[in-house]
């Protein structure tokens, strides 16, 4: 169906080619997972399939790519629109129309599908993706999961035979991601669609893949999932656990791992993870860095937060979880004074953040927004760092030093836009930290981060907590929460549903449990690191 | 289109062009009179139809247009008070201190006596504009311009797409600007002042540019502008025909609305323009490989709505041409306006769609009721 023959891609502004010597063959009906660290060339590989590279992106393509017999050198993306459908990371950016039905029909209109066929296919697609209830709605009013399903439906309705998806679930909460992936696997099985999928959160998809393509330094290797995972630079926790325990074949799903985990569970029976236990409600000697009391915050007329009680203390890392639209970002916005409290109160270090002058605010609280680019205005990294020193009233060089610590490999002359997601996040975090705010807020920091960048982020946040900063992270990423947080607060519909220690909250909920917890259930292990630490320690003496 | 579409009792969205034609007819009527009673009647008719046939939950710019109309009246009166001129009058209400202007600027003055006649004339003029604005607001509310844009002629498809994209992007750009400004606080700045504005422009434009690139990639990979194998000459012909036709229509409508230069120029130009536009539609559509999803049918209710609007406009036109008393209220000397019954009846014709046009689907269901009620509702209106 898709053939890459000795393909290389080179962009003029880069020294190294992005892809080289790629030979790849994807057969009809396969579901192929593309993995690799950020910047490894995954997206480029995917965009080659329908000719967006090089027709749209520029650059030089060598070798030959044929899709269903059509050469992408002579066929532009629009000429391949009837065989290849492409869904990007940000569904909103790809919407052309503004209601669900029209968006589903748009591709078919361009292809000139006749009216009654079009009508029928829109109805089918609405059912297939469970969108019938929202068919008349405006796209902007939909939830993230619904938007992503509309984006998939929009290309699907045109009946392509190949579906290319670039990180379709990275912006979604676990449940919405399940929704999208369930729809996808159904498509593969029912319609025999060929799917090419890139995803950072391997734990969500690797078990569905027929083959895995690993992209590393511009080179490509295709293998069966288990074999590919054994040597892949990125791997989900369940694979890491399998590698640690030496299981063969490597488990790819929780189900496989659980069946293999009998011995290890026996070995660890009766032991508990060595966790640095911090008091959840410490003595009241110091003021909490953040305290919300019966906080109600409106966006427009709608009360998004409906009476939140929350505290973040020095040295504590708190994870804020909840589905898309439950009010996580609103809570963070209120905590740094972007939205006023309508009822109740919010205090950072005893002061109302909304009443603070911007200059004072940055010394109390710092927020890294979902799109870190919002904080960056400079032309170069070094310029950005200098500006941040002035903005935050820090000694010259402060930001650069922090950045060197967070991400050692960032070059001075790079434009912030050209940094990888992880590097850009590090830069934004460095800018925020230059003001030495006691309270640091992060909104969805792992969006688009690979496992390596995530590990570095966890390390730097732990260091902050050790220096008695308070950290509040809003995230969907349960694996991150398992590794990072001391306490988890789950909110739904603007109210706190759960507030408790990480292991209790995560292990107790099927939607929020990390993979290791599911494998080791009912034992209280959350991360591979916990298990590894316990395995090297001698078992406790029998009493 | 099925037979059911001819029955106004089937709830559906009316073809947007029908509502726009209706509103233009009503606006034409408003433009032919300065009688405040007739103008009020027109605004009331527009408001009633909007209230009765607006789709629930959709954006309603009608109120904004009404406020704009009030602003037009206020501005007109304020300028009249400050600058005077225009209507001669003897009933002095009060006198503002006059600022002497250099000689030679005849007819223009600052301050001075304010006459009842002048204020009345200004109010009526402003009210006429306000009524026209109300009609446009009604059209915007009853059928969003975005839906109307789906029906741009195939030859102007690219222009139409650009307009639709612009309509989506303008609010998003405002959103972006707000987000960036809020984020600016996180760097210890207020986000106010000229220098700040310059700094904010970069990220806002950056993200706008990135978004357009994303959208372009998405449209390209979904087949936008896909090999339309028509030869360049016929395409140019069709485009020229369309542009000429549309300009004809616009000029004709303008002629009809304005009425002052040569009233007869309006109608012929409109007809010629319509013919040219229709011809270009035929030429363009024949070569257009694109298809359209669920086009709104054009059936009896559409003709009815269009007819009611046009009737109101034409009746007023005729009345104005015949010099029916009461169409123009005398301001010098000022007298009470009377309600001329024939033009008033004409305006009331435009009220008919409030009952004899299909209910929009959501309104027919009602916000909380189910299908059962929908059926009853259809029965009730009949």
Highest mean predicted confidence (pLDDT) among A34-48, A58-72, B106-120, B249-263 = A58-72
| CATH number, domain with residue A300 | 3.40.50.300
Residue range A76-90: mean pLDDT, rounded:
88
Domain boundaries, chain B: 1-145+299-382, 151-226, 231-291
Residue numbers in A near B289 (CB within 8 A) = 112
Residue range B102-122: mean pLDDT, rounded:
77
* Percent of chain A whose predicted confidence (pLDDT) is above 90: 32
Q: Nearest chain A Cα to B166, which residue? A: A96
Domain membership of residue A540 (yes or no) is: no
Question: What pLDDT score does A280 carry?
Answer: 47
Whether the pLDDT of residue A103 is over 70: the answer is: yes
Question: What pLDDT score does B327 carry?
Answer: 83
Tell me the two tokens of residue A405.
């610590």
Tens-place pLDDT, residues B364-381: 765 544 444 433 433 333
Question: What pLDDT score does B75 carry?
Answer: 94
In this complex, the residue of A86, A110, A366 whose CB is nearest that of residue B290 is: A110
Highest mean predicted confidence (pLDDT) among A271-285, A499-513, B68-82 = B68-82
In this complex, the residue of A52, A95, A105 whose CB is nearest that of residue B221 is: A52
Distance in angstroms (rounded) separating the CA atoms of residues B246 and A58: 39
* Percent of chain A whose predicted confidence (pLDDT) is above 70: 96
* Candidate from A398-402, B228-232, B322-326, B330-334 with smallest mean pLDDT: B228-232
Question: What pLDDT score does A19 carry?
Answer: 92
Tens-place pLDDT, residues A353-392: 988 888 888 889 999 988 888 888 888 899 999 989 988 8
Q: Nearest chain A Cα to B290, which residue? A: A112
Whether the pLDDT of residue A144 is over 80: the answer is: no
Same domain for A84 and A192? yes
Residue numbers in A near B165 (CB within 8 A) = 96
Tens-place pLDDT, residues B13-42: 899 999 999 999 999 999 989 899 999 999
Tens-place pLDDT, residues B80-100: 888 876 667 778 888 888 877
Question: What pLDDT score does A413 carry?
Answer: 87
Q: How many CB atoms lie within 10 A of CB B337?
A: 20
Instruction: Determine the distance in angstroms separating the CA of B293 from the nearest CA of chain A, rounded to an integer.
Output: 6
**A361·B185 Cβ contact <8 A:** yes
Distance in angstroms (rounded) separating the CA atoms of residues A294 and A343: 7
Question: What pLDDT score does B127 carry?
Answer: 95
B225: left (phi over 0), alpha (psi -120 to 50) or beta: left
Question: What pLDDT score does B347 carry?
Answer: 93
Q: How many CB atoms lie within 10 A of CB B366?
A: 12
**B293·A118 Cβ contact <8 A:** yes
Question: What pLDDT score does B284 carry?
Answer: 65
Question: What pLDDT score does A194 carry?
Answer: 92
Q: Between these two residues, B23 and A446, which has the higher pLDDT value?
A: B23
Whether the pLDDT of residue A240 is over 50: the answer is: yes
In terms of residue numbers, what domain contains A450? Answer: 290-519
Whether the pLDDT of residue A279 is over 60: the answer is: no
Terminal Cα-to-Cα distance of chain A (whole angstroms): 64
Question: What pLDDT score does B374 carry?
Answer: 39
Buried b (16+ CB within 10 A) or exposed e, A95-117: bbbbbbbbbbbbbbbbbebeeee
Distance in angstroms (rounded) separating the CA atoms of residues A250 and A228: 10
Q: Between these two residues, A346 and B228, which has the higher pLDDT value?
A: A346
- The number of domains in chain A is 2
Whether the pLDDT of residue A542 is over 60: the answer is: no
The model's confidence at residue B45, banded by pLDDT at 50, 70 and 90, is very high
Domain membership of residue A252 (yes or no) is: no
Residue numbers in A near B293 (CB within 8 A) = 101-102, 105, 108-109, 115, 118-119, 122
Residue range A255-283: mean pLDDT, rounded:
75
Report the helix count and the strand count for chain A, using DSSP H and E: 22, 19
Determine the distance from the C-alpha atom of residue A338 to the mean position of all C-alpha atoms in its chain, rounded to a whole number: 24
The DSSP-derived string for A408-467 is TT--TTS-GGGS-HHHHHHHHHHHHHTT--SEEEEESTTTT--HHHHHHHHHHHHHHHHT
**A366·B224 Cβ contact <8 A:** no
Whether the pLDDT of residue A217 is over 60: the answer is: yes
Whether the pLDDT of residue B138 is over 70: the answer is: yes
Whether the pLDDT of residue B263 is over 60: the answer is: no
Best B157, B222, B228, B290 member to test A by mutation, with max A CBs in 10 Å, is B222
Same domain for A198 and A303? no
Tell me the two tokens of residue B68.
């704009």
The DSSP-derived string for A353-415 is GGGS-HHHHTTTEEEE-SSGGGG---SSHHHHHHHHHHHTT--TTHHHHHHHHH-TT--TTS-
Question: What pLDDT score does A296 carry?
Answer: 94
Domain membership of residue A271 (yes or no) is: no
Tens-place pLDDT, residues A175-202: 778 878 888 888 888 888 899 999 887 8
In this complex, the residue of B186, B214, B219 whose CB is nearest that of residue A90 is: B214
Domain membership of residue A132 (yes or no) is: yes
Residue range A150-175: mean pLDDT, rounded:
86
Indicate the average pLDDT of chain A. 87
Point out which residues pair with A212 in neighbouring strands: A33, A223
Residue range A19-23: mean pLDDT, rounded:
92
Same domain for A77 and A199? yes
Residue range A22-44: mean pLDDT, rounded:
88
Whether the pLDDT of residue A500 is over 50: the answer is: yes
Whether the pLDDT of residue B259 is over 80: the answer is: no
């Amino acid at each position: 169906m898709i053939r890459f023959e000795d393909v290389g891609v080179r962009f003029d502004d880069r020294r190294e080619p992005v892809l080289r010597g790629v030979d790849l063959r994807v057969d009809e009906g396969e579901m192929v997972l593309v993995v690799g660290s950020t910047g490894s060339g995954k997206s480029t590989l995917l965009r080659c399939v329908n000719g967006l590279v090089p027709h749209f992106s520029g650059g030089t393509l060598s070798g030959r790519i044929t899709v269903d017999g059509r050469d992408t050198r002579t066929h532009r993306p629009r000429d391949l629109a009837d065989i290849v459908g492409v869904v990007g990371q940000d569904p909103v950016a790809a919407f052309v129309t503004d209601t669900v039905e029209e968006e589903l029909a748009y591709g078919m209109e361009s292809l000139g599908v006749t009216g009654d066929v079009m009508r029928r296919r829109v109805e089918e697609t609405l059912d297939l993706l469970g969108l019938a209830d929202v068919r008349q709605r405006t796209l902007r009013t939909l939830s993230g999961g619904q938007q992503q399903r509309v984006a998939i439906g929009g290309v699907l309705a045109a009946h392509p035979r190949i579906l290319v998806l670039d990180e379709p679930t990275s912006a979604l909460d676990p449940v919405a991601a399940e929704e999208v992936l369930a729809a996808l696997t159904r498509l593969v099985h029912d319609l025999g669609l060929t799917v090419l999928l890139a995803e950072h959160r391997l734990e969500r998809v690797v078990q569905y893949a027929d083959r895995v393509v690993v992209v590393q330094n511009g080179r490509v290797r295709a293998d069966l999932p288990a074999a590919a995972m054994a040597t892949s630079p990125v791997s989900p926790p369940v694979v890491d656990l399998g590698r640690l325990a030496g299981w063969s074949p490597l488990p790819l799903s929780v189900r496989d791992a659980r069946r293999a985990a009998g011995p290890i569970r026996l070995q660890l029976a009766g032991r508990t993870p060595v966790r640095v236990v911090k008091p959840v409600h410490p003595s009241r000697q110091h003021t909490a860095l953040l305290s919300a009391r019966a906080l109600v915050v409106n966006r427009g007329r709608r009360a998004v937060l409906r009476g939140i009680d929350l505290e973040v203390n020095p040295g504590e890392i708190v994870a804020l979880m909840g589905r898309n639209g439950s009010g996580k970002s609103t809570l963070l916005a209120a905590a740094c004074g972007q939205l006023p409290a309508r009822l109740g109160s919010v205090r950072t270090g005893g002061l109302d953040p909304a009443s603070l002058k911007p200059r004072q605010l940055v010394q109390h609280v710092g927020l890294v927004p979902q799109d870190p680019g919002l904080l960056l205005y400079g032309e170069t990294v070094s310029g950005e760092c200098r500006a941040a020193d002035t903005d935050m009233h820090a000694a010259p060089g402060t930001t650069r030093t922090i950045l060197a610590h967070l991400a050692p490999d960032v070059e001075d002359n790079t434009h912030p836009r050209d940094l990888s997601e992880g590097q850009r996040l590090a830069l934004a975090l460095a800018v925020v930290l230059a003001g030495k705010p006691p309270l640091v807020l992060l909104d969805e920091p792992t969006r688009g981060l690979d496992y390596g960048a995530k590990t570095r982020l966890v390390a730097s946040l732990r260091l902050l907590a050790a220096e008695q900063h308070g950290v509040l992270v809003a995230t969907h990423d349960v694996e991150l929460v398992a590794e990072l947080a001391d306490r988890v607060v789950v909110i739904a519909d603007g109210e706190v549903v759960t507030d408790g220690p990480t292991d209790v909250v995560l292990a107790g909920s099927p939607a929020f449990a990390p993979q290791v917890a599911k494998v080791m259930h009912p034992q209280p292990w959350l991360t591979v690191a916990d298990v590894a630490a316990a395995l090297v320690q001698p078992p406790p003496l029998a009493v | 289109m099925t037979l059911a579409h001819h029955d106004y009792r089937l709830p559906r969205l009316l073809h947007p062009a029908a509502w726009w034609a209706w509103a233009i007819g009503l606006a034409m009527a408003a433009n032919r009179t300065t009688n405040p009673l007739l103008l009020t009647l027109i605004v009331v008719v527009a408001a009633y139809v909007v209230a009765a046939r607006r789709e629930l939950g959709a954006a309603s710019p009608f109120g904004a247009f009404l406020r704009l109309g009030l602003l037009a009246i206020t501005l007109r009166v304020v300028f009249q008070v400050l600058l005077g001129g225009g209507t001669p009058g003897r009933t002095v209400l009060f006198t503002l201190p006059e600022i002497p202007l250099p000689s030679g600027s005849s007819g223009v003055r600052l301050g001075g006596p304010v006459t009842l006649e002048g204020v009345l004339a200004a109010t009526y003029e402003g009210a006429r504009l306000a009524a026209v604005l109300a009609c446009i607001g009604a059209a915007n509310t009853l059928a969003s311009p975005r839906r109307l844009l789906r029906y741009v002629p195939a030859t102007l498809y690219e222009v139409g797409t650009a307009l639709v994209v612009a309509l989506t992007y303008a609010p998003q750009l405002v959103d972006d600007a707000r987000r960036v400004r809020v984020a600016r606080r996180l760097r210890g700045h207020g986000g106010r002042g000229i220098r700040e504005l310059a700094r904010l422009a970069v990220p806002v434009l950056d993200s706008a540019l990135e978004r357009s690139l994303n959208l372009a990639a998405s449209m390209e990979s979904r087949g936008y502008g896909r090999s339309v194998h028509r030869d360049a000459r016929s395409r140019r012909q069709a485009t020229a025909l369309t542009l000429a036709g549309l300009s004809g229509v616009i000029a004709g409508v303008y002629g009809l609305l304005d009425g002052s230069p040569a009233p007869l120029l309006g109608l012929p130009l409109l007809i010629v323009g319509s013919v040219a536009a229709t011809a270009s539609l035929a030429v363009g559509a024949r070569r257009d490989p694109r298809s359209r999803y669920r086009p709104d049918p054009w059936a009896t209710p559409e003709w009815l709505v269009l007819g009611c609007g046009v009737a109101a406009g034409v009746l007023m036109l005729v009345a104005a041409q015949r010099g029916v008393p009461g169409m123009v209220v005398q301001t010098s000397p000022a007298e009470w306006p009377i309600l001329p019954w024939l033009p008033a009846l004409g305006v009331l014709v435009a009220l008919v769609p409030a009952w004899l046009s299909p209910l929009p689907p959501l309104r027919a269901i009602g916000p909380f009721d189910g299908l059962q009620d929908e059926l009853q509702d259809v029965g009730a209106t009949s």
